[in-house]
Amino acid sequence: MAFGFEEKGSKFADSYRIFLTKDGEYVSPFHDIPLFASGSGAGAVGEPLVLNMVVEVGRYTNAKMEISKELKLNPIKQDVKKGKMRFIANVFPNKGYPWNYGAFPQTWEDPKNVDQHTGFQGDNDPLDVCEISDIIPPAGTVIQVKVLGILAMIDEGETDWKVIAINMSDPNISEYSNIQDVERMKPGLLKRTVEWFKYYKVPDGKPVNKFAFNEEFKDQQFAAQIVKHTHESWKALIAKESDNAGISLANATIQLSSEKISQDAAKDTLGQQSALSGSTPLPSTIDTYFYVPNGI
């Protein structure tokens, strides 16, 4: 199974889109990319959980790129807030995102489901992933990752799980079996991860984010249960057993889906996009740092 991507529009502008391909055909990264990597299981006790991850944001970059839930074929695009392209602030000492960031395909945090662990409803997005390898793939890349653990964040009253995982191509992959190995191999990264998620919206005037479990990371087996639950929620979504909550269900490969589209229809969708052109200039504040005041 070979994955690729095609860019449209001008980078850092509202026209920019990244469309994904699988074996040369246009597909939805939300619906058509398999969750479980080839030959991997569902995380039985003692076995690694290896999943496909869609990379949305490369480490040390600031543009808030994400899978579009509403657009047909769910391309990756930059978020827009109040008519402006969204860039994540540099919260000292971080420059942009401190890891590669993305999502697991075929998962969904149902906004009508009250999470039993957090007491809050889902955020209506695919399950988020923080990938900690030193390898930095471009946005739109599909990589295989080993799940290590998970953090339960509460973002503006919604459950927003953050899975910690590592690229299977990392040269030290054999050293990572569970969340405890992250602290052993990369001391301080987990603490910095909590701090980053706690404060990253503060420069925009938003409140400090909260966490369940006293800000503690849960292990791989706990993470596997969250993956399983969100995968089942996605199955209900694509089968229209749940309200689609404004999500485009257009897909190219799911045989029983009433929203399956042909490659001709997929190509028509891409044909309506602007051709790839040069990047729009970055904002002048892209290298400015925000310092978290004492007492926040």
Model confidence pLDDT, tens digit, residues 125-162: 999 999 999 999 999 999 999 999 999 999 999 999 99
In the numeric block, the tokens 């889902």 are attached to: 122
Determine the residue type at 81: K
pLDDT of 89 reads 97
* Residue range 40-58: mean pLDDT, rounded: 82
The first and second tokens of residue 161, run together, are 């799980």
Model confidence pLDDT, tens digit, residues 85-130: 999 999 999 999 999 999 999 999 999 999 999 999 999 999 999 9
Residue 195 has what DSSP assignment? H
Q: What share of the chain is helix, strand, coil (3-state, %, to 5)?
A: 20, 30, 55
pLDDT of 255 reads 87
Domain-by-domain residue ranges, the chain? 3-276
Q: What is the mean pLDDT of the chain?
A: 95
pLDDT of 41 reads 55
When pLDDT is cut at 50, 70 and 90, the band that residue 44 belongs to is: low
Distance CA 292, CA 214 (A): 21
Residue 16: pLDDT over 80: yes
Distance CA 66, CA 63 (A): 9
Residue 282 has what DSSP assignment? P
When pLDDT is cut at 50, 70 and 90, the band that residue 245 belongs to is: confident
pLDDT of 294 reads 76
pLDDT of 47 reads 80
Q: Are 35 and 76 in contact (CB under 8 A)?
A: no
CA distances from 45 to 53, 172, 173, 224, 251 (A): 22, 22, 19, 10, 33
Residue 74: pLDDT over 70: yes
Q: What percent of the chain has pLDDT over 90?
A: 92
The first and second tokens of residue 13, run together, are 């502008």
0.85 exceeded by pTM: yes
> What is the dotted CATH code of the domain comprising 3-276?
3.90.80.10
Residue 56: pLDDT over 90: yes
3-class secondary-structure state, position 215? helix
The partner residues of 78 in beta bridges, in order of sequence, read 65
When pLDDT is cut at 50, 70 and 90, the band that residue 71 belongs to is: very high
